[in-house]
Homo-oligomer: A and B are copies of this chain.
Amino acid sequence: MSAAEHRGRFAYPELDRVLHERARLGILSCLIAGDEAVTFADLKGLCDLTDGNLSRHLKALEEAGIVALERDDKAGRPTTWISFTRSGRKRFLDYVEVLESIVRNSTTAKASRRATAPLPLGDDGVGSVPA
């Protein structure tokens, strides 16, 4: 096996940049763990974000069609509820699958370090990768 045969194996184009940002990953992890919708105030606390930061990230996620925001004032004052859209939930779970493969790859390497030779690099070495 040569590196050329495995071109792009570690490129992870599926690692969705919109979701990969740390604060957004926190927001979405919180939503996936929870009930249908979470209030802005709870999300802010659970993710330890400022109003401004949370608003900014929610705007980006809403524009990308990943979350939906809904306002009501049932509690006597305006409350914003945040939930996954159907496609957003699917998109996040697809993203998590990529994370899972990275974790599996890394923990396997840790466990079997030097017991086998897991890296797909041949002995053609330097310059084996096509430009």
Contact = CB atoms under 8 A, between A and B. Distances in A.
Contacts of A125: 39, 42, 75
A10 B11 CA distance: 27
A41 to B, nearest CB: 5
A57 interface: no
Interface in A1-49: 3-4, 6-12, 15, 17, 20, 22, 25-27, 29-30, 32-35, 38-39, 41-42, 44-49
Interface size class of A (residues with CB under 8 A): 35 or more
Nearest to A12: B26
A84 B76 CA distance: 56
A120 B30 CA distance: 10
Interface string A33-71: 111001101101111110000000000000000000000
A102 B106 contact: no
B103 A99 contact: yes
A20 B17 contact: no
A123 to B, nearest CB: 11
Contacts of A27: 10
A93 to B, nearest CB: 6
10 pairs of A and B residues whose beta carbons are closest in the complex: A45-B129, A34-B119, A11-B48, A8-B48, A3-B42, A10-B30, A10-B26, A96-B106, A10-B47, A100-B103
